[in-house]
């Protein structure tokens, strides 16, 4: 198919230093880039809207200061099973409340590893120093440390295939968190020092994001430890008698109903708000999948702990298998539009600049 359209395909057969980053490094050595303004990364299992490249080109022309741009990541198989639905709800919610919110505040969006465009000089410069399994997170950190930010272009839409098997999903997320822990340890102190020296909110926002997995792991350990201490050694909790009731309520098992209540509210909120924002109408079809989404959230706990102990290993790439055969026409029919019509996108049109 590629040869039919005159597309050059690069095939790397060596298994030495495998993985996405190494494959991209090798590929760019085979391609002349002297006249390339930007490099676009799209994973092999993805589907890109027909206007994806033109939307990215328009954004780069309209924003000459944008060195890195992330497109909108959607899910191409949201109805396969509970796991794919959970991924989809998380993506739809994050696109609005994480990516767009940061774009509106001129903070840095997050590179998602696919559906992104980076100006060629910066991409090559960063690629030479990438050392983690999560090249997207590491590059996004490098962009912020260079004084720039990752821009958010929600009009360039791409669809990613999500796992339907929990074991495959577990391995994928362990790889993500391995890289996340490594990037936090490698860049976190520098980002925090940059915040204290400049006072710029962009650095603090990035530091908190990098620290999120470590903070979640530590918080869980503290919660369990305090609950066990209050349960089995209440006399050793604190010397002051007026502190013990507070400890029992706030740190012991008394906090469990409150915590669970907040988690359930959040889960049902995501199950309604995410799909509704995605389809631009009230969508309750995912409401009853909120418990599945909460279970998906709980499965992150073993992911975090395993990744923490494997964070030192940034050379072992575990491939995520993709098996679904879906075309853009299938997605259009699921969304209730004709296959030739554009994807659901925000109503406001971006500035379009033509040469």
Q: Count Cβ neighbours within 10 Å for each residue of 254-291 and write b for 16 or more, e otherwise.
A: ebeeeeeeeeeeebbebbbbbbbbbeeeebeebeebbe
Within a domain: 327: no
- Domain-located, residue 352: no
Please check whether residue 331 lies inside any domain of the structure: no
Q: Give domain status of residue 325, yes or no.
A: no
pLDDT score for 171: 94
Handedness of CA 292, 113, 94, 202 (dihedral sign): positive
For residues 114 and 271, give the distance between their C-alpha atoms in angstroms, rounded to a whole number: 25
Residue at 354 is within a domain: no
- pLDDT at position 324: 79
Q: Which of 62, 69, 19, 79 is nearest to 43 (CA)?
A: 19
Other residues' Cβ atoms within 10 Å of the Cβ of residue 202: 20
Cα separation, 111 vs 76, in Å, equals 19
Residue 248 belongs to some domain of the structure: yes
The pTM score is 0.86
Q: What is the spatial distance between Cα 23 and Cα 12, in angstroms, rounded to a whole number?
A: 7
Number of domains in the chain: 1
> Per-residue confidence of the chain (355 residues) as pLDDT tens digits?
777 888 888 888 877 777 888 889 999 999 888 889 999 999 988 999 999 999 999 999 999 999 999 999 999 999 899 999 999 999 999 999 999 999 999 999 999 999 999 999 999 999 999 999 999 999 999 999 999 999 999 999 999 999 999 999 999 999 999 999 999 999 999 999 999 999 999 999 999 999 999 999 998 887 777 777 667 766 655 545 555 555 555 555 555 666 677 778 888 888 898 888 888 888 888 888 899 999 999 999 999 999 999 999 998 888 888 777 787 877 776 665 555 555 544 444 444 443 3
Residue 337 placed within a domain: no
Query: Within a domain: residue 181?
Result: yes
- For residue 153, the enclosing domain spans 3-313
In a 10 Å sphere around its CB, with 0-12 CB exposed, 13-18 middle and 19+ buried, how is residue 175 labelled?
buried
Q: What is the pLDDT of residue 247?
A: 55
């Amino acid at each position: 198919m590629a040869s039919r359209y005159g597309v050059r395909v690069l095939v790397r057969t060596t298994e030495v230093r495998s993985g996405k980053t190494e494959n991209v490094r090798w590929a760019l050595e085979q391609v002349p880039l002297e006249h390339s303004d930007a490099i676009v990364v799209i994973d092999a299992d993805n589907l890109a809207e027909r206007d994806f490249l033109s939307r990215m080109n328009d954004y780069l022309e309209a924003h000459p200061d944008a060195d890195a741009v992330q497109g909108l990541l959607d899910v191409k198989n949201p109805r396969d099973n509970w796991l794919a639905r959970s991924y989809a709800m998380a993506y739809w919610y994050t696109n609005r409340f994480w990516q767009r919110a940061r774009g509106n505040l001129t903070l840095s969006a997050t590179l998602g590893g696919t559906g992104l465009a980076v100006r060629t000089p910066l991409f090559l410069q960063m690629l030479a120093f990438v050392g983690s399994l999560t090249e997207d997170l590491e590059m996004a950190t490098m962009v912020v440390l260079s004084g720039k930010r990752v821009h958010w272009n929600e009009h360039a839409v791409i669809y990613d295939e999500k796992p339907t098997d929990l074991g495959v999903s577990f391995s994928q997320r362990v790889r993500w968190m391995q890289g996340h822990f490594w990037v936090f340890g490698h860049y976190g102190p520098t980002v925090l020092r940059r915040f204290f020296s400049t006072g710029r909110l962009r650095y603090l926002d990035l530091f908190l994001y990098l620290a999120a997995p470590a903070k979640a792991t530590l918080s869980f350990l503290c919660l369990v430890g305090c609950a066990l201490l209050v349960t089995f050694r209440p006399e050793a909790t604190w010397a002051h008698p007026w502190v013990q009731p507070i400890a029992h309520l706030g740190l012991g098992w008394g906090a469990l109903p409150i915590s669970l209540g907040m988690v359930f509210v959040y889960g049902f909120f995501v199950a309604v708000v995410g799909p509704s924002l995605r389809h631009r109408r009230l969508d309750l079809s995912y409401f009853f999948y909120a418990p599945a989404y909460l279970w998906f959230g709980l499965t992150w706990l073993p992911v975090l702990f395993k990744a923490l102990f494997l964070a030192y290993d940034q050379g072992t790439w575990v491939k995520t298998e993709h098996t679904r055969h879906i075309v853009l026409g299938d997605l259009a029919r699921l969304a209730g539009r004709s296959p030739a019509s554009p994807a659901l996108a925000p109503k406001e049109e971006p500035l379009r600049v033509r040469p």
